[in-house]
Amino acid sequence: MTKAERAAFVEKRLADLYPETPIPLDHTDIFTLLIAVLLSAQCTDERVNKITPALFKMADTPEKMAATSIEAIQAIIRPCGLSPQKAKAIYNLSHLLIERHDGEVPADFAALENLPGVGHKTASVVMSQAFGVPAFPVDTHIHRLAQRWKLTNGKNVTQTEKDLKRCFPKEEWNALHLRIIFYGREYCSARGCDGMVCDICRTLFPDRKRGIKVKKA
């Protein structure tokens, strides 16, 4: 198969497997989504979803979060990992949302990436899932699978994002990035598949003789 043929197969197969693409992080609005995505860095969505109910019970708006303290935030999010940095970022970005954006999460990549703790991936998730703007956030699942499917050379997540955007129609990016995550967790995990086990890997590369050594993000 050519790269274009592989991409077309992946797109169709994932759409068949996952016709619905629910956002895996529990939230009630754009602000709580932003906080949940920030917390998910180097932490599983499952763990984030266990932590956020207590956090959002304490504060679920920028105004309420800014009225708490870094210590109070950290006490709740400690199981998430990197809690000192994340608590400080949540507290400070809440203040900046009030000062710069009237307490609203901006629908703008640059403005989001200027917030503490919000990098390109987090901004891309918020823009795609909250505002419907085409984006292709690349996490470890997507980076790994794109290499196994030879849709990228895997140098880094920035290159993987560019390569995947070239492979797939823009209107499919938002759903597709979630579908790849779902598939990676269910069938093509780091330990469950090395590029030779799952259905998509075997279909794309039936003659592959050895596992793929993935380049880290």
> What value does the CA radius of gyration of the chain take, rounded to a whole number of Å?
18
**Residue 7 to residues 168, 182, 204, 210, 216: CA-CA distances in angstroms?**
7, 17, 10, 21, 21
Domains in the chain, start-ordered, CATH in brackets?
3-20+136-204 (1.10.1670.10), 30-131 (1.10.340.30)
Model confidence, pTM: 0.90
pLDDT, tens digit, 9 for 90 and up, residues 175-200: 999 999 999 999 999 889 999 999 99
User: What pLDDT, on a 0 to 100 scale, did the predictor assign at position 217?
Assistant: 66
Give the percent of the chain with pLDDT over 90. Answer: 88
Provide the annotated active-site residues. 121, 139
| pLDDT single digits (tens) 104-161 | 999 999 999 999 999 999 999 999 999 999 999 998 889 999 999 999 987 889 999 9
Given pLDDT bands bounded at 50, 70 and 90, which one contains residue 1?
A: confident
The DSSP secondary-structure symbol of 60 reads: -
Average pLDDT, integer, range 39-67:
96
Q: pLDDT at residue 99 above 80?
A: yes
Task: State whether the Cα torsion 43-45-50-51 is positive or negative.
Answer: positive
Q: Residue 108: its pLDDT value, please?
A: 96
